[in-house]
Amino acid sequence: AQSVTQPDIHITVSEGASLELRCNYSYGATPYLFWYVQSPGQGLQLLLKYFSGDTLVQGIKGFEAEFKRSQSSFNLRKPSVHWSDAAEYFCAVGSNTDKLIFGTGTRLQVFP
Amino acid sequence: ETGVTQSPTHLIKTRGQQVTLRCSSQSGHNTVSWYQQALGQGPQFIFQYYREEENGRGNFPPRFSGLQFPNYSSELNVNALELDDSALYLCASSFFQRDEQFFGPGTRLTVL
């Protein structure tokens, strides 16, 4: 079955600390992979996407993610977190850019 | 360039009633996808409309139906509302299978 697992429901970090959010997927075909961010009361904003090519992808707001086919993972990283990064983060997979399967999300809390 | 807009912002209905949610796609986009996001969950794909035809459907019953109009705006209709239909309904527009989809802010539906 096609699915996305985000093992961490809630993560708390201090401002300036590094961040890694985990994402594992199960998908039969070559996946399109995405990370979205959702602030309270807002829709989803795309942080970055992976279709093919270089397995390390750069996104907006200083985020990056690495595709590891052998581990079926697409973890999101940021070297230094800002208080404004506090939000809900969703990993998603699809056969194209739409009709996506989302994980249950990771809530990021940032302490000053 | 106008982004994706949705109306209404909030809606309260009672069990058994019917509801219509509306979405205006981003300028130049011809595809609209609808997602349901229950509290504490990731978005779930309901269906997609392309050129006024349904183009893919997730695991939702037939009482969830939709329309797409010649200007590419869309409606989501839900009949015989159930308590579990309470959720944030997100609309996303895109140019068919190209690049990313852009999400609207959502409609919060509460079923009492």
What pLDDT digit, counting tens, does each position of A56-88 carry? 999 999 999 999 999 999 999 999 999 999 999
What integer pLDDT is reported at residue B95 of this predicted model?
Answer: 86
Q: How many residues would you count in chain A?
A: 112
Contact of A42 with chain B, judged by CB distance below 8 Å, is answered with yes
Report pLDDT for A35. 97
Question: Could you give the CA distance from residue A17 to residue B99 in angstroms, rounded to a whole number?
Answer: 32
Give me the residue from A36, A98, A101 closest to B31, CB to CB: A98
pLDDT digit string, tens, across residues A6-46: 999 999 999 999 999 999 999 887 889 999 999 987 889 99
What's the CA gap between A33 and A18, in Å, rounded? 22
Residue to substitute from A4, A46, A99, interface B, most B β-carbons within 10 A: A99
**Which segments in chain B show pLDDT lower than 50?**
none
Question: Residue B8 and residue B104: Cα distance in Å, rounded?
Answer: 12
User: Do A41 and B31 count as a contact with CB atoms less than 8 A apart?
Assistant: no
